[in-house]
Amino acid sequence: MRVFGIDCGTERTGYGVIDSDGRTHRMVAAGCITSSARDPLELRLLHIAAELRRLLSEHNPDSAAIEEVFFAVNAKSALKLSHVRGVAMLVVAEATVKVAEYSPLEVKKSVVGYGRAEKSQVQQMVGSLLRLSAPIASEDACDALAIAICHATHAFVAQMEARA
């Protein structure tokens, strides 16, 4: 199964693509869609949507996963993040790809085994699970890969439970 993970942000939206059988994962691609804080929000959203459309078309995933909104420092930040999530979900739906959502706690628990893990622990485990020779430099791309791994693991467990 090919999973496209998305870590939404108004200035940096991370993406990560993995191939997985639910137990073993291989990174296909990872990166960050960047936009300038000086640009109006609607232009940033347009840029994010265009890049996500291109990436989804290029990688042709079986499913996608997005991190749920957690608390933000202020309501304005949470609203902007919600706009990006909405754009991401719309673009994934347009590509007729099923999308799943996971809380930050679920992602960390799935990848590290502990829901309150630090960013550095997530980064280390993502590198280990994907058998990478060097850690992912971008936190946003690393988080997107962690979201993809979380989804692949959850999908595998659900498939095994359905067979039982």
Chain centroid to CA 65: how far?
Answer: 6
Residue whose C-alpha is closest to residue 137's, from 18, 16, 25, 45? 16
Beta-carbon count within 10 A of 137 CB: 10
Residues recognised as catalytic: 7, 67, 140
With H, G, I as helix, E, B as strand and everything else as coil, classify residue 63. strand
| Residue 135 and residue 124 in contact, taking contact as beta carbons nearer than 8 Å | yes
